[in-house]
Structure 1
């Protein structure tokens, strides 16, 4: 994300202009937007025109609209963000008060105005615009005929490609069709890795599968790299790590990231911090339950006692439509920071927390954790 302009007054009202540069930036933008905000961006509008002869035609024109946000729709798989609202500025194609839906686009700037920019939203902008916050962990989660190629960022898991190839069963006396299909599958996965993973940024590539699929694929990958003289694969061979997963589906990435061997390998990556925070919480909950708290009331009391060391809180809470409720979470975060604690924001469906946080949401309707150190 690129910050073009920032104009926030002393009363915390104001606007910022941003340019989303990659898919993850749409997720950050989703977390910045709230109902009632003002969004100005370029969009396509279908307009009707009438000629001098009275014939009516329609055309699609690009124009810039300013909407009062009413509905925000984010597609996490495609990383597409659609914002619906009413037009609040004069425009030659759209009447005041008319509804329109803007689909934000990569590399096109937008301006977001709020009546109040709180500390959590400003932190989100700082995080999104920090060039160091990039995906330095990639993974291929696979099984025969299915592979999910993903990038793991500090904020979310991005599905970059899904490879599906039908693999015929082995027949007695003939495996030719099976072997050919498997080779086509491995070739497609190899091309996906070369196309979607930036080896200049990625420090580790996890290749996970049940059984021996992962081992067979790695063997194929580097035999082909030698045959094709693919230097980028050969030079980065040490970045590949083969691990076990229960399936080739994306949700299996959670168990992969919880593997102690993987955690150790990822120790110098940005993703490791969030994995360790969750592991520390679970360990403390088992070994010293008096020092691990969850639930809003308990965490607030610990914060008032200046006893919070690490607070892990879901992004979902800050999208609450009730201003008073949202302000309560913001005050909690501010209080923890002011008293020397660390705050980690997480997406409730992010790779390492997907299962744990969803369970907590069902049980308590509040899904954040904190580590408490009593003085």
Structure 2
């Protein structure tokens, strides 16, 4: 197989299931946040096969007179899982296994899976429990999709803004030439707008930012109003100096998407911590610190369990126990990143807290 990805495995459709194959036994998954990493660890079993792009040292060359430095090169591997564990000091799931697809068959290899990783997981049979974990992961990952279209007469860059990065999905060339006659230019512009609109429609965004210099973006919005009114209702205009990826980056620097990201993870976590602090100040519907949270769980009062990522890494077994308990009473949980202020506040409160569904004392 070498470094290539097998045919039929590379198409992404948009924890998220990207693709299912082999009668549902093989599922292609993107890890989108820390919660997904926890769910993935619960789904994995020894004997599963995990496929992913990774890095390995180049194989030794027998025809070389002098020993050569072996560089790490990208390669697509499938490994039969032997062991796995979330690394104590990093937000990564380490998966150890035996190579069954790719170079160096039969050798050991460790995959490091983190936020943003894409893997394909294959099982002989998916249990009901594993499918339930997967369903919960998908539901917890549902976020508002904000699409940025940076366009001018030369073409349109279509990019999808995600909570931890941006996917540059496509560049669509307009095909319009300055030497075209007026009627031909109009025909080409309509064809161009139609192609862009169909691509947007296939992605299914919640919000669309149409940006760029000049009048092309305004003409496109008028086109949407007539031909694709549902897309027009989701669309907003923004003036930037460039099209293409440069224009997309300018939109982001200007902060334009922020008003459309009320459901983004950082905002959600900040709101939860604000609600926690309000409850603490009023001495109601909140608990914090391990002892108080465990007492709240004893009464079945926890609606949302909040755990900082640093507390989870240091107290993994205890956290898994807390998560099992809150899930058993119909509550939910959130692993909060300490990369922003809300997570740091939670960490300072002991790393674990809860929003309660009722007062019990």
State the TM-score, normalizing by the size of structure 2: 0.51
Q: What corresponds to 1:47 in structure 2? A: 59
Q: Residues of 1 paired with 2:305 and 2:123: CA distance?
A: 30
Residue 202 (1) aligns with residue 209 (2): no
Q: Which of 314, 320, 323 matches 1:333?
A: 323
Q: Give yes or no for contact 1:284–1:291 (8 Å, CA) kept in 2.
A: yes
SS in 1 for 2:205: coil
Q: Please name the residue that 2:244 is paired with.
A: none
Task: Render the CA deviation track for 1:271-316: whole Å, top value 9, x for unaligned.
Answer: 9987865554454345x333322222211111113332x2233483
Deviation track 1:110-143 (CA, whole Å, cap 9, x = no partner) reads 4599xxx9x8x8764222456x954433266x9x
Counterpart check, 1:160 vs 2:150:
no
Partner of 1:316: 309
| Cα pair 1:31 1:319 within 8 Å, conserved | no
Unaligned runs of 5+ in 1: 7-15, 143-147, 163-189, 208-213
In structure 2, distance between residues paired with 1:242 and 1:289: 45
CA contact (8 A) 2:145 2:161 kept: yes
Q: Deviations over 1:199-247 (max 9, x none)?
A: 7632334x6xxxxxx9x8699674141587797776422214689xxx9
| 1:138 counterpart = 2:138 | no
Q: CA RMSD in A?
A: 6.1
Q: 1:281–1:371: 8 Å Cα contact kept in structure 2?
A: no
1:314–1:367 contact (8 Å) kept in structure 2: yes
Distance in 2 (CA, whole Å) between partners of 1:112 and 1:83 is: 21
Cα displacement string for residues 187-206 of structure 1 (whole angstroms, at most 9, x for unaligned residues): xxx9xx9799657632334x
- Contact 1:307–1:374 (CA under 8 A) maintained in structure 2: yes
- Distance in 2 (alpha carbons) for counterparts of 1:284 and 1:202: 35
- Aligned pairs for 1:1-375 (under 5 A) are 1=17, 18-22=26-30, 24=32, 28-29=36-37, 32-33=40-41, 38=46, 40-42=49-51, 46-48=58-60, 64-66=78-80, 68-69=82-83, 83=94, 85=96, 87=98, 93-94=104-105, 98-101=108-111, 106=118, 108-110=120-122, 124-128=133-137, 134-138=142-146, 151=161, 157-161=164-168, 201-205=204-208, 222-226=217-221, 235-240=230-235, 256=259, 277=272, 280-286=275-281, 288-308=282-302, 310-314=303-307, 316=309, 320=313, 325-339=315-329, 341-348=330-337, 354-361=340-347, 363-371=348-356, 373-375=358-360
8 Å contact 2:288–2:354 — kept in the other structure? yes
CA distance in 1, matches of 2:214, 2:358: 48
| 1:58-80 deviations in Å (ceiling 9; x for gaps) | 9998664335457878xx9xxxx
Contact 1:225 1:233 in 2 (8 A): no
Shift of 1:348: 1.7
- What CA distance in whole angstroms lies between the structure 1 residues aligned with 2:326 and 2:224? 53
Corresponding residue for residue 210 of structure 1 = none
Give yes or no for contact 2:217–2:237 (8 Å, CA) kept in 1. no
Structure-2 separation of matches of 1:197 and 1:249: 19
Normalising by the residue count of structure 1, what TM-score does the alignment of the two structures yield?
0.50
Q: Aligned equivalents of 1:270 and 1:232: distance in 2? A: 34
Contact 1:84/1:101 (<8 A) preserved: yes
Partner residue of 1:211? none
Count of paired positions: 285
Offset of residue 55 of structure 1: 12
Q: Which runs of 5+ in 2 are unaligned?
A: 1-16, 151-157, 170-192, 239-249
What SS is found at the alignment partner of 2:80?
strand
Tell me by how many angstroms 1:356 deviates: 0.7
